[in-house]
């Protein structure tokens, strides 16, 4: 690929036409989401198996979930990777982080004791945390203004596809017990290496290259914590932090909670989780990617509808028993709702509301804070849910009310605008 092609792919801003090159770049960048979610769900699907074979206590299970790709390890990677992506460039981060990820995944796959499992889980978390904000910034910077939501929505399809593949493998390999879990992680190892090899042909973001050549004081780190940037940081942070606790619970703990509360078998718990991610793929593809760039009004109604569905999804756990029919209702409502009012819009706003030299830093910060708090939640959830899911369901309902209301009432009017136009408008706020 020539440098002129790379620039062209990065700077097209009129209309919503997406080139083949932009689709290709989106696929390769979106693999960060595939590997992120895939590792989270692989760990979730295998938690009970690892607990049984390695003799882990409930506290150890909570700690394992807390330090990995779903939480604190990922948070550390996001804090550092997001900032380095702004200072050193997108390419320097995504060129190497998947190699680190592959090493961590291999450590999990071959774990014969708790220390190996914990080290591998932490390393995977750090690697994927560094990759996500950098890769998403790249997508946002080369997307046409009229299709930015579509391409970032596509990365969310990849986020759902990772768990689907992982859970299908887990379901098929359930009879193999621990060996089956190891094979699931080895699949992620192979995908990570293949993605790393293909990414070597990616070029640096043209927008970042242009912005890095200037030493604008507005792009210094301290600028992120004042004025319009601080408002955007609070907006995206509140939306994502409270939503992510519910999504993280659904992603990593659904199979574990279903099995440990005797609401279904290991195979049934994996199958129920799988259904939620399939719903996510369908709704994101057919609804979000089609309508997210249409207008501000359309975005608000998409978000409002999805937010209400998610509140109901966890609210039913407060008033109804934790059994398979109620779990199915939760999975359907949350699967549809979070596709309309969840991480996909957070990804879009995180690219739209910040200037190029602060884009990765801002998303790394909010992503990191969200995963840190999810880590704290994950540590206590196994104990909190050991006697039933009513209290946990009530807290998750409250968190989704906060996220949903913030997104609906404070949603910025950015649909269809170029990143430069949005930055100019926000400079006057």
**pLDDT range class, residue 11, cuts 50, 70, 90:** very low
pLDDT of residue 303: 98
Decide which of 255 and 275 is more confident: 275
Percentage of the chain exceeding pLDDT 70: 90
pLDDT over 80 at 334, yes or no: yes
* Residue 284 pLDDT level (bands cut at 50, 70, 90): very high
Which pair of structure tokens corresponds to residue 186?
């080895």
- φ, ψ at 412 (rounded to 5°): -75, 150
For residues 27-36, give the mean pLDDT.
90
Q: How confident is the model at residue 215 (pLDDT cuts 50, 70, 90)?
A: low
Q: What is the pLDDT of residue 380?
A: 80
**pLDDT band at residue 10 using 50, 70 and 90 as cut-offs:** very low
Q: Across the chain, what does the average pLDDT equal?
A: 87
CA 56 to chain centre: 27
Helix then strand then coil, in percent of the chain rounded to 5, is 80, 0, 20
Say if residue 337's pLDDT is above 90. Answer: yes
Q: What are the backbone angles phi and psi of residue 200, rounded to the nearest 5°?
A: -60, -20
Integer Cα distance of 247 and 250 in angstroms:
5
- Does residue 9 register a pLDDT over 50? no
Quick: pLDDT tens for 224-249: 999 999 999 999 999 999 999 998 88
- Whether the Cβ atoms of residue 28 and residue 198 lie closer than 8 Å to each other: yes
Residue 123 clears pLDDT 50, i.e. is over it = yes
**20-210+220-428 has which fold?**
Growth Hormone; Chain: A; (1.20.1250)
The predicted pLDDT at position 217 comes to 56
- How much is the pLDDT for 15? 61
How far is residue 252's CA from residue 401's CA, in Å, rounded to a whole number?
21
Pairs from 16-24 (Cβ < 8 Å, separation ≥ 24) = 16/144, 16/145, 16/146, 16/147, 16/150, 16/293, 17/144, 17/146, 17/147, 18/143, 18/144, 18/147, 18/150, 18/151, 22/142, 22/143, 22/144, 22/151, 23/151
Span of 62-66, 108-112, 231-235 with lowest mean pLDDT: 62-66
Band of the pLDDT at 196, cuts 50, 70, 90? very high
pLDDT above 80 for 378: no
Q: Does pLDDT of 40 surpass 90? A: no
Q: Where are the domains of the chain?
A: 20-210+220-428
Average pLDDT over residues 358-369: 95
pLDDT value for 2: 38
Least confident of 60-74, 85-99, 333-347: 60-74
Q: Give the percent of the chain with pLDDT over 90.
A: 58
Q: Read off the pLDDT band of 328 (50, 70, 90).
A: confident
Closest CA to 58 of 374, 376, 380: 380
Question: Can you give the pTM of this predicted structure?
Answer: 0.89
CA dist., res. 415 & res. 353, Å (int) = 11
Q: Which of 242-246, 254-258, 312-316, 372-376 has the lowest mean pLDDT?
A: 254-258
What does the pLDDT look like over 141-173, one tens digit per residue? 999 999 999 999 999 999 999 989 988 898 888
pLDDT above 70 (res 20): yes
Find the mean pLDDT for residues 38-45: 84
Q: Which two tokens stand for residue 337?
A: 């709702």
pLDDT of residue 69: 86
pLDDT of residue 12: 44
Q: Which two tokens stand for residue 84?
A: 């380095």
Q: Is the dihedral of CA 189, 204, 140, 15 positive or negative?
A: negative
Q: How far apart are CA 116 and CA 34, in angstroms?
A: 23
**Residue with the two structure tokens 């996001």:** 78
| pLDDT, average across residues 66-72 | 82
């Amino acid at each position: 690929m020539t440098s002129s092609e790379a620039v062209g792919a990065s700077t097209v801003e009129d209309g919503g036409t997406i080139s083949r090159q932009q689709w290709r770049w989106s696929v390769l960048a979106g693999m960060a989401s595939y590997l992120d979610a895939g590792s989270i769900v692989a760990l979730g699907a295998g938690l009970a198996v690892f607990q049984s074979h390695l003799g882990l206590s409930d506290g150890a299970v909570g700690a394992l979930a807390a330090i990995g790709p779903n939480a604190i390890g990922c948070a550390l990677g996001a804090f550092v990777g997001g900032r380095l992506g702004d200072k050193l460039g997108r390419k320097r981060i995504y060129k190497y982080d998947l190699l680190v990820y592959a090493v961590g995944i291999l450590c999990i796959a071959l774990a014969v004791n708790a220390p190996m499992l914990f080290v591998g889980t932490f390393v995977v978390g750090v690697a994927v945390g560094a990759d996500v904000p950098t890769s998403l910034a790249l997508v946002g910077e080369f997307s046409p203004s009229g299709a930015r939501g579509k391409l970032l929505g596509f990365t969310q399809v990849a986020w759902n596809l990772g768990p689907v593949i992982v859970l299908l493998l887990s379901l098929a390999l359930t009879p193999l017990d621990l060996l089956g879990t190891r094979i699931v992680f080895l699949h992620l190892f192979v995908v990570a290496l293949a993605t790393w090899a293909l990414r070597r042909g990616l070029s640096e973001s043209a927008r970042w290259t242009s912005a890095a050549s200037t030493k604008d004081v507005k792009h210094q780190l301290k600028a992120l914590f004042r004025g319009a940037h601080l408002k955007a940081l609070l907006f995206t942070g509140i939306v994502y932090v409270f939503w992510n606790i519910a999504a993280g619970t659904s992603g990593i703990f659904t199979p574990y909670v279903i099995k440990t509360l005797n609401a279904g078998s290991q195979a049934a718990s994996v199958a129920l989780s799988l259904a939620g991610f399939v719903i996510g793929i369908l709704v994101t593809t057919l609804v979000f990617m089609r309508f997210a760039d249409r207008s501000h009004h359309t975005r608000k109604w998409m978000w409002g509808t999805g937010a209400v569905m998610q509140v109901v999804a966890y609210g039913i756990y407060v008033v109804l028993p934790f059994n398979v029919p109620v779990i199915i209702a939760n999975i359907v409502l949350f699967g549809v709702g979070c596709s309309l009012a969840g991480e996909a819009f957070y990804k879009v706003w995180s690219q739209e509301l910040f200037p190029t030299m602060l884009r990765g830093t801002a998303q790394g910060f909010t992503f990191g804070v969200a995963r840190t708090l999810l880590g704290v939640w994950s540590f206590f959830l196994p104990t909190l849910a050991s006697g039933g899911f009513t209290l946990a369901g009530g807290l998750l309902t409250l968190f989704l009310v906060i996220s949903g209301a913030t997104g609906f009432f404070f949603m910025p009017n950015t649909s269809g605008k170029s990143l430069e136009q949005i930055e100019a408008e926000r400079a006057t706020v």
